[in-house]
C-alpha cells in the first residue's frame, strides 16, 4: 500500500529565506504531483513530475523528483508572503488514483 509522508508539517519562515519541503513515498511511483491550498479554498495544481530527474520551476518554487530515492522536494527561494499556504504532494497510487501526503502548512512572516 502506497503511503506518502511530507515533512515538515508546519513551517514558519521569514521573507527572503530559502527552504525545502520533502515528500517521501513508500512504493514505486513514476509520477508525483504538487498542489497548493489557500485557507478555505480548494487545491490548485502546481507541478506534475512525470519521470525520474524531472525538475520544474515556477517563480520562486521549484519541484524535483528522484524516483530511486522515492523522494520529491519543493524548494522555495527568497520566500514572499504570498506563498503562505498549505502544500500537498501526491503520488500515483495506480489505477489513476492519487495518494496524498498530510500537507505542509507554510507561513511566511514579513
Instruction: State the distance between the two ends of the chain, measured CA to CA, in whole angstroms.
Output: 41
86 φ/ψ angles, rounded to the nearest 5 degrees: -105, 135
Comparing CB distances to other proteins, the nearer of 37 and 77 is: 37
Q: How far is the CB of 56 from other proteins (least distance, A)?
A: 13
Q: In Å, how far from its chain's centre is CA 61?
A: 10
Comparing CB distances to other proteins, the nearer of 15 and 44 is: 44
Q: How far is the CB of 15 from other proteins (least distance, A)?
A: 26
What is the C-alpha to C-alpha distance for residues 10 and 30, in angstroms, rounded to an integer?
27
Q: Which of 19, 5, 45, 3 is nearest to 106 (CA)?
A: 19
Comparing CB distances to other proteins, the nearer of 43 and 71 is: 43
Q: How far is the CB of 79 from other proteins (least distance, A)?
A: 23
Q: How far is the CB of 16 from other proteins (least distance, A)?
A: 29
Comparing CB distances to other proteins, the nearer of 34 and 76 is: 34
For other proteins, the binding residues (CB under 8 A) are 4, 9, 31, 33, 35, 41-45, 48, 50, 88, 90, 92, 96-103
62 φ/ψ angles, rounded to the nearest 5 degrees: -140, 130
Pairing type for strands 98-100 and 104-109 reads unpaired
Amino acid at each position: 500500500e502506497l503511503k506518502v509522508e511530507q515533512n515538515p508539517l508546519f513551517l514558519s519562515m521569514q521573507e527572503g529565506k530559502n527552504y525545502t519541503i520533502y515528500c517521501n513515498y513508500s512504493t514505486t511511483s513514476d509520477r508525483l504531483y504538487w498542489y497548493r491550498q489557500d485557507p478555505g479554498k480548494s487545491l490548485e495544481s502546481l507541478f506534475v513530475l512525470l519521470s525520474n530527474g524531472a525538475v520544474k520551476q515556477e517563480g520562486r518554487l521549484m519541484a524535483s523528483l528522484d524516483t530511486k530515492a522515492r523522494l520529491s522536494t519543493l524548494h522555495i527561494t527568497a520566500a514572499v508572503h504570498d506563498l503562505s499556504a498549505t502544500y500537498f504532494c501526491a503520488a500515483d497510487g495506480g489505477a489513476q488514483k492519487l495518494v496524498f501526503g498530510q500537507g505542509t502548512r507554510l507561513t511566511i512572516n514579513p
